[in-house]
Amino acid sequence: MVSNKKRLYIALYPSGVARNDERKYHWGFLTGPKIEDEEEVPGTRYHVKNHPIQGWVYEERHVTNVQSTVTLLARILIAKIEDERRLVASFRNTPVVQADPNWRCRAWVRAVLASIKRDGRAVGTSNLSWAEIEPLARDYVAKKAESGRYGVSQIENMNQPKPTWDMLEDKEIVP
C-alpha cells in the first residue's frame, strides 16, 4: 500500500526588511497533501505575524493552494505528517513572545521544530534540524533570486507553483 501522508513545509516569504539578512524573510509552515497533481492544492498556513496593535499573533489559515500562496518565495519539505492533530497542537502551544524586542517569526519556527521533535509522534520521516533548515532555505531562496526567479519578468508566473526543495530526498521537486 502506498503512503499518502500529508507533508510539512517551511515557507519563506519576503519580510520587507531586506537590508537586514537575519530578518530578510518571514518564516512559517505549510501543510498539504503528498500528491500535488491538481492546479490548486489546498492546505493550511501556520505562522506568527507582527500585528501593529496586538503585537505578535499566531495565525492558522486555510489556503487554496499551498504551492503558490500570496508572496510565497519557496517551500522546503521537511517532514511526512503522522498525526496532524499532534502537529497542530505543537503550532498552537508554542509560545508567542511579546516581551523580547528581538523575538521574530524565525524564533517561533525554531521553537516549533523543537516541540515537534520532543513530541516524537507528530511526524515520521523528517529533518527538524534548524541548524540545517535555516542555511539551506536561505541559500535556496538566494540562488532562486540570483537566477531571476522573482524578477519583474516572472510576473506572469506569479500563480505558478513556487520553488520547492525536498530535504528528505535532497532534491528540488519544483524549480
For 138-175, the pLDDT digits (tens) are 999 999 989 888 776 555 667 789 999 999 999 999 88
State residue 83's pLDDT score. 97
CA distance 92 to 112: 9
Please report whether residue 33 resides in a domain: yes
Please report whether residue 71 resides in a domain: yes
Please report whether residue 41 resides in a domain: yes
By three-state DSSP, how is residue 109 classified?
helix
Long-range contacts of 90-98 (CB under 8 A, 24+ apart): 90/115, 90/116, 90/119, 90/122, 91/29, 91/46, 91/58, 91/60, 92/58, 92/60, 96/48, 96/56, 96/57, 96/58, 97/56, 98/55, 98/56
The 8-class DSSP code of residue 93 comes to H
Please report whether residue 91 resides in a domain: yes
Q: Which pLDDT tens digit goes with each residue over 47-91?
A: 999 988 899 999 999 999 999 987 899 999 999 999 999 999 999
Q: Which pLDDT tens digit goes with each residue over 4-14?
A: 789 999 999 99
Please report whether residue 19 resides in a domain: yes
Please report whether residue 174 resides in a domain: no
Question: Looking at the whole model, is its pTM more than 0.85?
Answer: yes
Domain count, the chain: 1
Domain that residue 131 falls in? 7-167
CA distance 95 to 93: 6
Q: Which three cell numbers stand for residue 36?
A: 500535488
